[in-house]
Every structure is written in C-alpha cells, then in structure tokens.
Structure 1
C-alpha cells in the first residue's frame, strides 16, 4: 500500500507501507553531470512514486543498470505512527570506492526496532566520483563523491523532519570505504551542525590520498585514453571504455599507493583542506561521540582474493620500511608464537598494521582531545558466506548489522544471498544492533558499566562474540613489541605519529 505524500524541498514523494514501517526508495537528492559537482534537481509538483531503489551508480558489473546522471538518490525507512521526532542514522556504503550502493541495505528492521529513521545513500563511484581532474582543466572535478555525500547530508538535514526524523539528532555512519568517507566528512566545516554522532566500521588506515598521487592517477588515465592534450574530451568517453581503462591503470599502480587502492578521498586543499586525523587531534570534534569498529580477521578476505589484494603487499612493504627487515621478522615471529589455533599469523599481523592499530590510534586522538569514543572488534564467525569459511573477516559486522533477524538479507548489488541465522548469529547480531541503536538514540552504545568509554590507560575494547566482553586493548606481547619497535625506529611517540606508521 502506498503512503500518503510527504513534502520535500523539491516536491512531494510517496513511498510504500512495509508493516509498521514506511519506506521511501530512490528519492533523488541531486543530479550529477559527469565530472561536475552535483546540482539541485528541478522541482516537481505531482507526488513522485518512490517505491523502488533508484539507478545504481555506474560500477563494474552494473554498467547496464546504471545511470550516471540520475544515480544520486537515497532511501528512507521510518516507523509509522510516531508522536515524536526520531533519531536519524545516515549510512554511507563501502565497496573500495568503486562498487556498492544504498540498495544493498534494507533499513526496515533497524527503523522498526529503534525506533529510528534510517537513511542509505548513493554516491558516485570509481572514476566518476574520485578521479581528480581539477589540475587538468576540469575545475570542479575534485572529491566529487565527498561532495555527493555532503549534498545527501544537506538534503536529509533539510527534509527529514517531514519523515518523522529529528534533524538535530543525525548520526553519520559508514563501513569500509564509507567509514573513510565518514571520517573525512566529519572534519569538514560544510558538515558542521548537520550531524551529532559518528560511527565508522572498518575504516582503512590510510584512506586519504595525496593530491599528487591523485593527479598521477588522472594523468595515467588520460594518457591511456590518449586525451593528454584534450582532457575535457573525457566527458564523452563511453562508460565501458572509461571503466576498462581505469581498471587497467589501477592494476598497474595499485602497489604504488599507500592504501593499495587507487581511489579515495583526496587531501586537495579545498574540499578537504586538512588531514582528518589532525582535525580529530586538535579537539575540533570533541563534542562528537564516536564509535570505531573493526573485524578480527579483516585481511583474510583480501588474502584469499585472486590475485591477493595490493594492500597486502603495500602493508608489508610499509611495515618493513618503518622497522627494517629485522623488525618485520621479529613481529612475524611473535605473531607465530602467539597465534590461536585457527589464526594465520601473517594475516593477523597485516590486520593489525592496516586496520586495528590505525583505528585504535584514531580513538586515542579523539579521547586525548576530550572526545567520547568507543572501540569495538567483531569476533563472531557467522553462518553466512564468505564468513562461514573465512571467519570474522572484512564486512562480518556489517552483515549482522543489517540482518532482519532471524535472517541475513540479500545484497543485490554485491550479488550475495542472505539466509537463515543460527542461534549464535542471532545472539551476536541482536547485541550489535542494540548497541548501534542505543548509540544512535543516546550517543553511547551501552551503559558505562557494560562498555566503558575508551580512555587511557586502560583502553577498553569491546568484543562482539559469545559472550560479549571487554578486554584491555594494550595487553599482550604483540602490543608491547609494536611499542618497542616504534621506540627503536625513532618515530615520535604520539598517537598521530603512530597512526601514520600504522
């Protein structure tokens, strides 16, 4: 059954009733011209039917279902019959900055059980969202995906009250690449006052690209397209050709990037003027409660990819550069000596270097600046592939977060099927969802006695497993060896410095 029309700043929309929740899907928030900033839509007067997900952002495997001008849409799930404004969660999807979309995340279950208003968004991906061409004559083509996300946040802030949401109680959240975007967005002056909390799950440790590296990627793409003398002509290159060239360039230079990925938010000096971690460190965001999470075996998925992801080689090379071959050897020996029976020591070392340690250092920066921060790790192996065979690798927490208990949901864009959950899956997912909804509602994921804030010197780490429990982050020989190697390397012993070493 269709909902009543809801007014927005561009025109009325109608959604569909899903039990006790109203869903509005494919709501356009801007229009995108290639390599230009998103612009407002032309207003309409007749109610617009928003009952199906909008067009995917162009991406590998979905170019035939994509629409590059009309891909900027969002999806809203809101409980029916509420008599008060509800807290809002805006979610930015992951996908290595090249895949994914809001259609992979049905927020109906979270909205009903919050109660809360859940919003998922699309943004431009791959070259259309992250290829930096402003040094090549296309003045607006820098950090376009970040600008898309800002436009979505602006739209939500201006319109969500009409959907039952509280525009002054918005939590900005994301996973993987989306978490990187959350961290970058949170530090931008343009976003101030438009969100009050932030959640970042599995944010890569080195997601901000230098402007010089981004410029080099753009130069190589233009060279491959034979457009070095006419960069503006890239605007008319057919999408299949553009994406094929970008994939070829990516294979050639992925090892040259700090993160092992070609794209990401760029420290361009205009849209993103400062390194985000420096903004957290100086206390500018101390009033923003922050939840940072990761999965225990983040790197397994990337080790098992064919070929193994470039971030594997990049991370090992950077640790060797920081501590020397002898230091790398000592680390690996310690990880082998302390490995669990089901643990790959090499994977565990890389997961710590690329994911866990940078995440912990961001928590230290925020805590040291006076901010409230909570740190978590997801240790549960769910009965859903690839996690059943690979363990709690990258995305394991995200699968439980969006589950419609007692089932995992389908992911149509990633082409992953859902399925029934085991009692253990349900137990862990329910705890994870409850913590998230409590964070969205109150700014703290649990009562202090059950999950204390991350503060020195104890540095509590919440483990989502069976049972849920808290452990000190800085215990164990692995942590002590990292500290020893950092001291020997001569790196300044500050959280910011440690974050750069990883």
Structure 2
C-alpha cells in the first residue's frame, strides 16, 4: 500500500507501507553529469513514486544498463505513527570505492526496533566518483564522491523532519570504504552542524590519499586514451572502467598502496588530514565509535590472487621497523597464536586495521572527545564468514540482519539465510548498542562498556558473551611499543601507508 505524500524541497514523494514501517526508496537527492559536481534534481509537482531502489551507481557488473546522471538516490525507512522526532542513522556503504550501493541494506528492521529513521545512500564510484581530473583541465571538481555524500547529508538535514526524523540527531555511519568516507566527511567544515555523532566500522588506518597519488592515477588513466585524452568525458562506461582496471593492475605493484581510489587531500573539498582534525580537538563534541572485526585480513588473504594490501602492509611494516623488526613481530604472533589463528593474518590485521583505529581513538580521547572501541569476534553462520571466521564485514552482516534471518545482498549477489541462536544473540546485542548510540550518543551503560581514555583503554568484544578486555596488555602490544620507540615512528602510522582503501564490504 502506498503512503501518503510527503513533502521534500524538490517536490512530494510517496513510498510504501511495510508493516509498522514506511519505506521510501530511490529518492533522488541530486543529479550529476560525468566528472561534474552534483546539483539538485529538477523539481516536480505531482507526487513522485519512490517505491523501488534507484539505479545502481555504475560499477563492474552494472555498466551496460547504467544510468549515470540518476544514480544519486537515497532510501528511507521510518516507523509509522512516531509521536516525536526520531534519531537518524545515515549509512554510507563500502565496496572499495568501486562497488556497492544503498540497495544492499534494508533498514526496516532497525527502523522498527530503534525506533529510528534509517537512511542509506548511493554515491558515484570508481572513476566517476574518485578520478581527479580537475588539475588536468577535464573535470569541474575534485572528490566528487565526497561531494555526493555531502549533498545527501544536506538533503537529510533539510528534509528528514518531514519523515519523522530529528535533523539535529543524525549519526554518520559507514563500513569499510564507507567508514573512510565517514571519517573524512566528519572533519569537513561543510558538514559541521549537520550530524551529531559518528560510527565507523572497519576503516583502515590511513583514510586519505595524497594529491600526488591522485594525479598519478589520473595521468595513467588519461594515457589509456592517448589519441584524445578528452574522450574520457564521453567514452562508453565499459571502455572507461576497462582503462581504469588496467591502471589498477599496474598500480598494485608500483605504488605504496596497491590501490587506486579514495578520498583525496586536495586542499579544497578536503582541506586537512582527517586524523589531524580529530587530534586538534575540532571534533571533541562528536561522540565516536570505531569498530573492527577480529580476523579482518582473512578475506583478503583468501582472495585470488591475494589482495594487494597484503603485500603492501608487510612491506610497510618492514620499511618502518626493518626486516629484523618484522621477524620479531611475527615470532611473537606465532608464540601467542590461538589454536585457530593464522599468526601472519593476525599481524597484518593489527597493522592495517586494529592498531590504526586504536590510534585514532587515542587522538580523539586525548583531545577531549568521547570514543568507544570495539571488535567483532563472532563467526556468523553465513558465507564467507562460516568458512573464514569473523573477517571483514562480519559485523555488518549482523547489523543489517532481520532477526532471525540474514538479509539478501542484491548488489553483492549474496543470499541471506536463517541465523543460529548464537548469531541472533550477538546480532541483537550489536544492533541494540548501535541503536542506543544513535539515540543517546553512548553505546552502553558505563559499567558495561566504559569509554576509551588515557590509561584506560577498554575494548568491547562482541561475541559470546559480550565482554570488555584491556587493549594495552599482552606480549604483542609490548613488542609493537618497543619497536616503535626504537624506530622513533608513531606506532599505527608506521604500519600503514598514506594511501589506503579496502576491497569489499561483505
């Protein structure tokens, strides 16, 4: 059944009733020509049907039928009959900045159980969102995907009250590449006052690319159109993405990161290194939750061939601490490994994911901000986690589950399925903590989960049972610290490159 029409700044829309939740899908928040900054969509007067997901952002597997200009849409789930303004969760999907979309995340269950208003968005991906052509005279602006996300945030701030949401209680959230987007967005002057808290799941340690790297990528891609570089503005999408794929394969072994795209420190859209903004206290009034999965790197080790970040992370650790330091670390990981743990994977997960996130937490806490740190240790009974353990995306699968079932992921082409009692127990706790954070800015009562502060660095473990462990204990922590003091290199940044992205949000 269709909903009543709801007014927006561009015109009225109607959605569908899903039990106790109203869903509005494929809501256009902007339009964009190729390599141009997004602009508001054309206004309309008759109610616009928003009953199905909008076009996917062009990406591998969705190129032949892609519609470039109209992929910038968002989806809203809101409880019917709310008697007060509700908190808002605005979620930015992951996918290595080249895949994914808001259609993979059905927010009806979270909306009903919040109660909260849930919003998922599309943004431009791959070369359309991240190829920096501005300094080559071929594009109108840099960081187009970041500008897309800002446009979505602006739309939510201006319109969400009409859907029962509180524009002053918006939580920026994202996973994987989306978490990198959140960390970058949170630091931008354009976003100030438009969100109240931030949740980043599985963000890598370095969340920003250098302008030099972005220029190098642009030059290499343009070289693929050597006869006429300006043709890049009009070539068919399969040809454009094919050129980018060729460049990406070469970059995997020729750069410090092995990656192609991500938010860029361009001095304009992103004027400052995000970590520096957190460290100087500019965001001390923003509650922050940083989460990761225990075995983040397993997925990337088991990919065929293994993801470039594997080689990159080992190379960076060796560069920071020397070959002897690497061997010492690996020896400690072998000596302290769990029965089911791959010491090499655990070392890489700490270097690329866990330690950098702890470093960001320390910066935010030292600047006076409230921050919570978590790790997801539960193995969902759903592939790839059933065979790979709590690897990258395990927490995300549980966050969006419609208990007692995991949801289907149409863009990733992964089916959901029934959850085990353990899945339900852990997912329910995780969802409740997220919804409490969205509502109050605190994920749990202080006695159950204290915030992160100097001298006390609690790490919440989502498993059976939920429990808290001290982060700064154990032989592994000590050897990292000793090597960092000997090398004079900050611990987290020594082990990660300046340019970081991730492959899949799972």
User: Could you state the TM-score of these two structures normalised by the residue count of structure 1?
Assistant: 0.98
Change (3 A) 1:94 1:257: farther
- The residue that corresponds to 2:185 in the other structure is 185
CA distance in 2, matches of 1:19, 1:166: 22
Question: Residues 277-316 of structure 1, C-alpha deviation per residue, up to 9 Å, x if partnerless?
Answer: 0000000000000000000000000000000000000000
Q: How do 1:434-449 residues align onto structure 2 when only pairs under 5 Å count?
A: 434-449=432-447
- The residue that corresponds to 2:197 in the other structure is 197
CA distance in 2, matches of 1:232, 1:172: 36
Counterpart check, 1:288 vs 2:268: no
User: Per-residue deviation at 1:496?
Assistant: 7.1
Change (3 A) 1:307 1:492: closer
CA distance in 2, matches of 1:179, 1:317: 24
Gaps of 5+ in 1: none
- The residue that corresponds to 1:12 in the other structure is 12
Q: The residue matched to 2:64 in structure 1 has which SS?
A: helix
Question: Residues 397-418 of structure 1, C-alpha deviation per residue, up to 9 Å, x if partnerless?
Answer: 0000000000000000000100
- The residue that corresponds to 1:123 in the other structure is 123
Change (3 A) 1:275 1:299: same
- The residue that corresponds to 1:176 in the other structure is 176
- The residue that corresponds to 2:106 in the other structure is 106
Counterpart of 2:350 (choices 352, 360, 379) is 352
User: Per-residue deviation at 1:225?
Assistant: 1.9
Counterpart check, 1:313 vs 2:311: yes
Contact 1:260–1:312 under 8 Å retained in 2: no
Q: How do 1:36-435 residues align onto structure 2 when only pairs under 5 Å count?
A: 36-226=36-226, 230-435=228-433
CA distance in 1, matches of 2:353, 2:486: 22
Contact 1:207–1:259 under 8 Å retained in 2: no
User: Could you state the TM-score of these two structures normalised by the residue count of structure 2?
Assistant: 0.97
- The residue that corresponds to 1:487 in the other structure is 485
Change (3 A) 1:76 1:101: same
Q: The residue matched to 1:441 in structure 2 has which SS?
A: helix
Tell which has more relative contact order, 1 or 2 (C-alpha 8 A, sep 6+): 2
CA distance in 2, matches of 1:204, 1:224: 30
Contact 2:7–2:13 under 8 Å retained in 1: yes
Q: The residue matched to 2:95 in structure 1 has which SS?
A: coil
Q: The residue matched to 2:91 in structure 1 has which SS?
A: strand
Q: The residue matched to 1:199 in structure 2 has which SS?
A: strand
Q: The residue matched to 1:207 in structure 2 has which SS?
A: coil
CA distance in 2, matches of 1:283, 1:47: 45
Contact 1:277–1:496 under 8 Å retained in 2: no
Question: Residues 475-496 of structure 1, C-alpha deviation per residue, up to 9 Å, x if partnerless?
Answer: 1000000000001112257x77
Contact 2:104–2:410 under 8 Å retained in 1: yes
Change (3 A) 1:415 1:472: same
Gaps of 5+ in 2: 501-506
Q: The residue matched to 1:78 in structure 2 has which SS?
A: strand
Contact 2:3–2:16 under 8 Å retained in 1: yes
CA distance in 1, matches of 2:250, 2:231: 23
User: Per-residue deviation at 1:63?
Assistant: 1.2
Question: Residues 41-67 of structure 1, C-alpha deviation per residue, up to 9 Å, x if partnerless?
Answer: 110000000000000000001113421
User: Per-residue deviation at 1:256?
Assistant: 3.8
Question: Residues 396-452 of structure 1, C-alpha deviation per residue, up to 9 Å, x if partnerless?
Answer: 000000000000000000001000000000000000000000000000000000000
- The residue that corresponds to 2:503 in the other structure is none
